[in-house]
């Protein structure tokens, strides 16, 4: 094994953790959903199914995809608490790589990483994030990765790095990057081909969690109490009638549930569009990234209608940030697979 730890890029969002790394000169990416509850599970009856029981200090946690007792991660404190430490280690285990010493590059919401008033790094919050992820954690009957170092980068802006570099835009071009995540809405204005970051904005009360909460309440009213993970999956797959029927027990409520979800998605788009126009009224380009990007794309297109196709939904918007961070830190040129390798975590 190399004496230099592998560098792994991790966009550790509140809803999903996106992990990217270089393997055999190829960029690999997985998505690991967050769904943890307190206390341990008993052993699985199927030998091919692994149980993930963790201990942090005196607290015990387990990964549970479907439990309605899953802990909420849709708060800014998630960035510095046990659930973040759990999410990162759990995601590393889903890569298929053997547990080993690694350096990880993680993220903070833009208004946590920078001081909003002067655009300077918030060194205390960056240090708090690093300290949190260097803490001890153990896996019952299993081995974890050894995190030897933690680097912290801002969310949102690096996700368009390769899109802007070599794009041919002038040194005066202003590009608005909108990152709609599970908990936060982050925005920044980039000048030229990443020559400068001229302004940042963040709102910790606008995110996909607005839709998730409505979906969970609607499911509960239909005798279908669910985890945050199941509710988010319903939002993504709301047009899949078979899946919808599978998670909704009272099928007479399906139309009501879907209508509530669609209404909230429209509201989310309207709120993001309002905040975007208030923050950057007339940018030259707009780029949408983050897990919520597909939900708000139509609203942003209408808000900046004169830009036409210069409003861009980045390909694989949810994993764009981790991929770009990984490429940025790669020592040698690598080839990127035409389609990111998205590995869904098994429903334990």
Give the CA radius of gyration of the chain: 20
Alpha helix ranges (H) inside the chain: 82-93, 110-113, 123-133, 161-164, 209-221, 228-236, 241-247, 254-279, 293-303, 320-329
Distances from the Cα of 225 to the Cα of 63, 228, 234, 250, 286, angstroms: 17, 10, 13, 11, 38
Q: Flag residues of the chain having pLDDT under 70.
A: 1-2, 44-48, 331-348
Rounded to 5°, the CA angle 31-37-41 comes to 100
- pLDDT of 265: 97
How do residues 298-314 score in pLDDT, each as one tens digit?
999 999 999 999 999 99
Q: Which of 55, 56, 67, 62 is nearest to 40 (CA)?
A: 62
The greatest distance separating any two alpha carbons of the chain, rounded to the nearest whole angstrom, comes to 61
Count, residues in the chain: 348
Domains of the chain: 6-206+267-336 (3.30.420.40)
- pLDDT of 183: 84
- pLDDT of 135: 97
* Terminal CA-CA length for the chain: 31
DSSP state of 253: G
Handedness of CA 85, 293, 339, 22 (dihedral sign): negative
**Cα(207)–Cα(205) distance, rounded to whole angstroms?**
7
Residues facing 121 on adjacent strands: 114
Buried b (16+ CB within 10 A) or exposed e, 4-41: ebbbbbbbbbbbbbbbbbbeeeebbbbbbbbbbbeeee
**Cα(3)–Cα(76) distance, rounded to whole angstroms?**
36
- pLDDT of 46: 63
- pLDDT of 44: 61
| pLDDT above 90 as % of the chain | 70
- pLDDT of 263: 97
Q: Which of 37, 41, 2 is nearest to 22 (CA)?
A: 2
- pLDDT of 76: 85
- pLDDT of 19: 97
- pLDDT of 99: 97
**Cα(338)–Cα(29) distance, rounded to whole angstroms?**
12
- pLDDT of 339: 44
């Amino acid at each position: 094994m190399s004496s230099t730890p592998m560098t792994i890029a991790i966009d550790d969002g509140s809803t999903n953790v996106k992990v990217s790394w270089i393997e055999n000169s190829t960029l690999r990416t997985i998505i690991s959903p967050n769904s943890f509850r307190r206390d341990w599970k008993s052993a699985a009856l199927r030998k091919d199914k692994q149980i993930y029981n963790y201990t942090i200090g005196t607290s015990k946690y387990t990964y549970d995809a479907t439990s309605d007792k899953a802990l909420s991660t849709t708060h800014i404190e998630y960035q510095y608490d046990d659930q973040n430490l759990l999410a990162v280690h759990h995601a590393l285990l889903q890569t298929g790589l053997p547990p080993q010493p690694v350096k990880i590059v993680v993220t903070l919401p833009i208004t946590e990483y920078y001081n909003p008033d002067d655009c300077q790094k918030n060194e205390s919050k960056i240090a708090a994030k690093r300290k949190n992820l260097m803490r001890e954690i153990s896996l019952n009957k299993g081995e974890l990765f050894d995190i030897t170092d933690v680097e912290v980068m801002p969310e949102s802006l690096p996700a368009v790095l390769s899109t802007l570099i070599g794009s041919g835009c002038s040194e005066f071009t202003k590009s608005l990057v909108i990152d709609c995540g599970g908990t936060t809405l982050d925005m920044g204005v980039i000048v030229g081909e990443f020559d400068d970051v001229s302004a940042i904005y963040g709102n910790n009360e606008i995110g996909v969690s607005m839709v998730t909460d409505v979906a969970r309440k609607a499911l509960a009213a239909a005798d279908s109490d669910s985890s945050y993970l199941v509710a988010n999956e319903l939002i993504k797959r709301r047009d899949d009638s078979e899946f919808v029927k599978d998670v909704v027990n009272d099928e007479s409520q399906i139309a009501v549930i879907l209508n509530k979800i669609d209404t909230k998605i429209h509201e989310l788009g309207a709120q993001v569009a309002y905040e975007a126009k208030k923050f950057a009224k007339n940018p030259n380009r707009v780029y949408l990234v983050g897990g919520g990007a597909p939900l708000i794309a139509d609203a942003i297109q209408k808000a900046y209608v004169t830009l036409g196709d210069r409003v861009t939904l980045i390909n694989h918007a949810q994993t764009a940030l981790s991929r770009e961070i990984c490429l940025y830190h790669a020592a040698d040129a690598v080839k990127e697979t035409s389609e990111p390798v998205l590995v869904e975590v098994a429903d334990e």
